Amino acid sequence: MSREIPYKTYLTEKEAPRTWLNLKAFMKEQHDPFLNPATGKPCAPEELEAVFCKECVKQELNSADKEIEIPDGIRNFYKTFRPSPLVRAYFLEKALGTPAHIYYKFEGNNTSGSHKLNSAAAQAYYAKQQGLKSITTETGAGQWGTALSMAAAFYGLDLKVYMVKVSSEQKPYRKEVMRTYGAEVIPSPSDTTAAGRKILEEFPGTGGSLGCAIAEAVEAAVTTPDCKYVLGSVLDHVLLHQSIIGVESKLALDKYGENPDIIVGCIGGGSNFGGLIAPFMADRLQGKNNTKFIGVEPASCPSLTRGKYAYDFCDSAKITPLAKMYTLGCDFMPSPNHAGGLRYHGMSPIISKLYHDGYINAVSVEQTKVFDAAIAFAKCEGILPAPESSHAIRVAMDEALKCKQTGEEKVILFGLTGTGYFDLAAYKAYNDGTMTDYVPSDEALQKSFAALPKV
Ligand SMILES: *Cc1c(COP(=O)(O)O)cnc(C)c1O
């Protein structure tokens, strides 16, 4: 083990960042605005404020301020699980026999087990500051609902989580963590909303979908006094909150004079990747580095690598504003993949724009290869990674193996977004040899593109 750079670097409480980094303020061009699907006109702030907290809308539309202060109330909650460690993956380097320096930023060290708590904390805090009594959200795989239930408990807000019915049945223990933190978990579709009742009538016995859960959560928010809806990824303000990952990473790497040649992150809605790359991309946009940024998606849900850059609904119930993004079409039903957090038809508008303008590379990987990497990583670095995070591990390992061929001592940083303790059914499938790969056909994608809204 090298003497100079420790295995783990934790920033002290004093060194912890006091600001988030607003990547949009560094971008040469902004992404196209949200459109109201009824009028085709850009959404006014008031329209967004009907659904979301005021401060989040303000942040959503802020492309001027490079840094945005993290209020003390949020920094206090961050103290319970941040700063997160930056790990020099010496054992993985040794196992691969690579001259590359591999680092990962580990975001799984909290009860919810993922980076999602970074934005849950901020959004719950702002809801409380605004004087709201409750918030609503949906959850698919359950990570976001779990994170938000922790944040709602900390700030003293009531929370209703509409959880896709099949997930609530498949992951009963996730549901129990949410309930333990005081959230009300409602399997969706439910009879508590008009949207849910309509689906139940049309499709009795359905296992539900994320689109339906979103529709229920939004309806509950707009029909309940002092209640708003919160979202765990995709939106610009979520990426802003997640920039804490990148800002801390850069502070730690700067101590050792290490500049990443390659940064790798998994991409579902794009929030952890957007947060991880934020300060490095800001430098890149100012011509200060030549870092290569790689977003990794599942081959079963390839929004960047095979999607279209177009206006689309953010949800399959078609009630949200239209966003300009890489999308597979909001009707696209990704096949069951064990990385539930990456099964989203669209992509963050910021990440989409940067990709479109050539600043970001994207690759897609098949899940059996992802699990090969997950297990190799778990054996030498000790952490059982989430299937989502393992997409980044796969590509970081591939890049490190290229360095083995060329002898280059590249610095590779990847985001380890969470742990996989609630994903043991996926590990079981892998261990049993029953895990399969699914790649959608061009025909299936064309069919879904044909249904994109015309704007
Ligand atoms: C939700 C989730 C992701 C993907 O979400 P992004 O918004 O793309 O970051 C990745 N990893 C884990 C562990 C998650 O829970």
Is 334 close to ligand 1, i.e. is its CB under 6 Å away?
no
Question: What span, in angstroms and rounded, lies between the C-alpha atoms of 352 and 329?
Answer: 14
Q: How far is the CA of 272 from the centre of ligand 1 (A)?
A: 6
- Mean pLDDT calculated for residue range 372-395: 98
Angular region, 330: left φ>0, alpha ψ -120 to 50, beta rest? alpha
Q: 345: which DSSP letter?
A: S
Residue 319 CB burial class (10 angstroms; 0-12, 13-18, ≥19): middle
How large is the average pLDDT for residues 35-42? 94
CB 116 within 8 A of CB 147: yes
Provide the pLDDT for residue 131: 98
Whether the CB-CB separation of 133 and 155 falls below 8 Å is answered with no
Q: pLDDT, tens digit, for every residue of 249-277? A: 999 999 999 999 999 999 999 999 999 99
Least confident range from 70-79, 209-218, 233-242, 361-370: namely 209-218
Take residue 98 and report the two structure tokens written for it: 């690579």
| Alpha-carbon span 431 to 428, nearest angstrom | 5
Instruction: For ligand 1, atom 5, name the residue with the nearest CA.
Output: 268
Residue with tokens 């900390």: 154
Two tokens at 266? 């998994």
List, for residues 303-335, the tens digit of each pLDDT value. 999 999 999 998 888 888 999 999 999 988 877
The pLDDT value given to residue 3: 54
The pTM of the full predicted model, rounded to 2 decimals, is: 0.97
Q: Which positions ≥6 away from 358 have C-beta within 8 Å?
A: none
Q: Write down the CATH number for the domain with range 8-16+70-113+235-449.
A: 3.40.50.1100
Per the document, the length of the chain is 455
* Start-end of H helices in 224-366: 236-255, 271-285, 303-306, 349-356
Gap from CA of 192 to ligand 1 centroid (Å): 28
Distance 116 CA to ligand 1 centre (A): 7
Q: Which two tokens stand for residue 332?
A: 């696209």
Give residue 441's identity as a one-letter amino acid code: S
**Which single residue is written with the structure tokens 């942040």?**
59
Residue 130 CA to chain centroid, in angstroms?
A: 25
Region of residue 240 (phi > 0: left; psi between -120 and 50: alpha; otherwise: beta): alpha
Q: Is 269 in the pocket of ligand 1 (CB under 6 A)?
A: yes
Confidence of residue 170 (pLDDT cuts 50, 70, 90): confident
With a 6 Å cutoff on the Cβ, whether 342 touches ligand 1 is yes
How far apart are alpha carbons 90 and 5 in whole angstroms?
10
Average pLDDT of the chain to the nearest whole number: 95
Order of strands, sheet of 101-106, starting from the edge strand that comes earlier in the sequence:
8-9, 86-88, 101-106, 411-416, 262-266, 292-298, 361-365
pLDDT tens digit sequence for 436-454: 999 999 999 999 999 999 9
128 three-class SS: helix
Q: What is the pLDDT of residue 210?
A: 84
Cα 298 to ligand 1 centre (Å): 12
Query: Residue 1 pLDDT more than 50?
Result: no
Rounded CA-CA distance 59/135 in Å is: 18
Which mutation among 271, 326, 384 tests ligand 1's pocket best, with the greatest number of atoms within 8 A of CB?
Answer: 271
Assess whether pLDDT exceeds 70 at residue 198.
Answer: yes
| Residue to mutate (ligand 1; options 230, 245, 266; most atoms within 8 A of CB) | 266
Contact 303, 328 (CB under 8 A): yes
Compute the distance between CA of residue 416 and CA of residue 88 in angstroms, rounded to an integer. 12
Q: Ligand 1: distance of its center to the CA of 341 in Å?
A: 5
Q: Which residues contact 125 (CB under 8 A, 6 or more apart)?
A: 71, 73, 74, 77, 151, 155
Please say if the pLDDT value at position 336 is more than 80: no
Q: Is residue 205 exposed (0-12), middle (13-18) or buried (19+ Cβ within 10 Å)?
A: exposed
Instruction: Count Cα neighbours of 439 within 13 Å in the Cβ-side half-sphere.
Output: 9
SS3 370: helix
388 Cβ inside 6 Å of ligand 1: yes
Tell me 33's DSSP state.
Answer: P
Q: Evaluate if residue 160 carries a pLDDT over 70.
A: yes
Q: How far is CA 200 from each of CA 189, 203, 213, rounded to the nearest angstrom?
A: 7, 5, 12
What span, in angstroms and rounded, lies between the C-alpha atoms of 388 and 239?
17
pLDDT band at 141 (very low <50, low <70, confident <90, very high): confident
Measure the CA angle with vertex 201, ends 199 and 207; round to 5°: 50
Domain ranges of the chain: 8-16+70-113+235-449
